[in-house]
Structure 1
Amino acid sequence: MADASHRFVVITGGPGSGKTTLIEMLAASGHAVMPEAGRAVIREQMAAGGNGLPWADRARFAELMLAHDLRSHAAAKDQPGFVFFDRGIPDIAGYLGLCGLPVPETIGRAAEACRYRETVFIAPFWPEIFKQDAERRQDPAEAKRTYEAMVATYPRYGYRLLELPRASVADRAAFVMRHLAAEA
């Protein structure tokens, strides 16, 4: 099978910056999407009474996110056209760095082996739309630090970041599609 990474588009950034809303709009437009591992892991761990949660065992949480992201990356190969990822494997390395934890070799190897399109879209910290919820317990300061961690992390893995505008979700979607068409 030919390398499909040129079709795998990551949208990253801090929590509460509009990533998931953008992903949902792209899905509604007919594009394949891969949901954020962190939220899925939190829901699964809460339902099972597990401790692989960012407020309980951050290293375990990262391991579970990696397993989820590896499955998503493999499943994306069967999807036609662009596949939009709500975060990518390098996000896990950024998260661990943000927490002051070492990045295990398994995460570095996975980030090198499971590639995405070179251009990664990053949503900047946007205090006007930031909201906390049951799964997003970070405060605005941590959301901003998370964004900064992603700015530092993705280039280390060979990606080029392109910042999304602080604009409506429709304008953001158009921005993404324009840039993907221009890079074709």
Structure 2
Amino acid sequence: MLTGAPGAGKTTLLDAASGAGLRTSPEVARELLQRPGGMELRESDPLGFAEAMLDAHRREFERHGSAQDSGQGEANPVLFDRGFPDVVGFLEVSGLPVSPAIDRVCRELRYLGPVLRAPAWAEIYRQDAERIQNWEEAIASDEAVTAAWRRYGYDPIDLPFAPVDERLRFLRDLL
């Protein structure tokens, strides 16, 4: 599981992990934002956007099953780019309440394995068409999602500020 600040290298690490043969699941928020009307939904109806993210995360979670067992007794993890508690962080940083339904999903559908946090990293942060947060907002987002993961009983492990190959080695050592 990858979480953390926007623009902190999660997608780059996910791409490297996929290239190294690990199973991965993309960031659903970015996919939603790239669809027609996605950015408008985020801006005009952040609660609706959060619900769309939750539904997309649930589909990915269900698509990968337990994401922990290949059926042959061997670990077969999936590296998810963000997860259910990230939706809570998005809502909280947006000043919106967390619905009982979203809270229930975070409590009942559990990710196994380490949760890796990509902390805010000024040297690599860049805004783009979907990453619209300024630096201060990126830090606030990181704080909110990290707090949400902890609230739901996870203990995020910080990725090192290092090139992607070192981050990938760090990830593989934890798996």
List structure 1 runs of 4+ shifted beyond 3 angstroms.
49-52
Aligned equivalent of 2:126, options 131, 138, 142: 131
Structure 2, unmatched stretches of 5+, are 71-75
Partner of 1:6: none
TM-aligned CA deviation for residue 107 of structure 1: 0.9
Following superposition, the deviation at residue 54 of structure 1 comes to 2.3
Q: Secondary structure at the match of 1:53?
A: helix
1:51 Cα offset (Å): 6.8
Q: Identify the residue that residue 20 of structure 1 maps to in structure 2.
A: 11
Contact residue 92 and residue 98 of structure 2 kept, 8 A: yes
The structural deviation recorded for 1:155 is 1.1
Change (3 A) 1:134 1:51: closer
Superposed CA offset, 1:27-73 (max 9, x none): 111111111111111112xx2x3676322211010010011000000
**Sequence identity (%):** 40
Superposed displacement of residue 100, structure 1: 0.7
Instruction: Give the conservation status (yes or no) of the 8 Å contact 2:33–2:39.
Output: no
Which residue number corresponds to residue 157 of structure 2?
Answer: 162
Q: In the alignment, which of 77, 87, 106 is matched to residue 65 of structure 2?
A: 77
Provide closer, same or farther for how the CA distance between residues 51 and 177 of structure 1 changes in structure 2, counting only shifts above 3 A: closer
Amino acid at match of 1:170: D
Secondary structure in 1 matching 2:115: strand
Task: Decide which of 142, 149, 154 is 1:147's aligned counterpart.
Answer: 142
Partner residue of 2:169 out of 174, 178, 181:
174
- 1:10-89 superposed matches below 5 A: 10-44=1-35, 47=36, 49=37, 53-77=41-65, 80=70, 81-89=76-84
AA of the residue aligned to 2:54:
L
Q: What residue in structure 2 maps to residue 3 of structure 1? A: none
- State the Cα deviation string for residues 135-164 of structure 1 (Å, max 9, x = none): 111111111111111221111101011000
Amino acid in the other structure paired with 2:20 = S
Alpha carbons of 1:78 and 1:111: their partners in 2 closer, same or farther (altered >3 Å)? closer
Question: Could you say which residue in structure 2 is the equivalent of 1:7?
Answer: none
Equivalenced residue count is 168
In structure 2, the CA distance between the partners of 1:103 and 1:123, relative to structure 1 (3 Å rule), is same
Could you tell me which runs of 5 or more consecutive residues in structure 1 were left unpaired when the two chains were aligned: 1-9
| Cα distance, 1:177 vs structure 2 | 1.1
TM-score by structure 1 length?
0.86
**Are the aligned partners of 1:52 and 1:61 in contact in 2 as well (CA < 8 Å)?**
no
Counterparts of 1:78 and 1:157, CA distance in 2: 18
Q: Which residue identity is paired with 2:61? A: H
Change (3 A) 1:15 1:108: same
Letter in 2 for 1:76: H
Task: Specify which of 84, 90, 93 is matched with residue 88 of structure 2.
Answer: 93
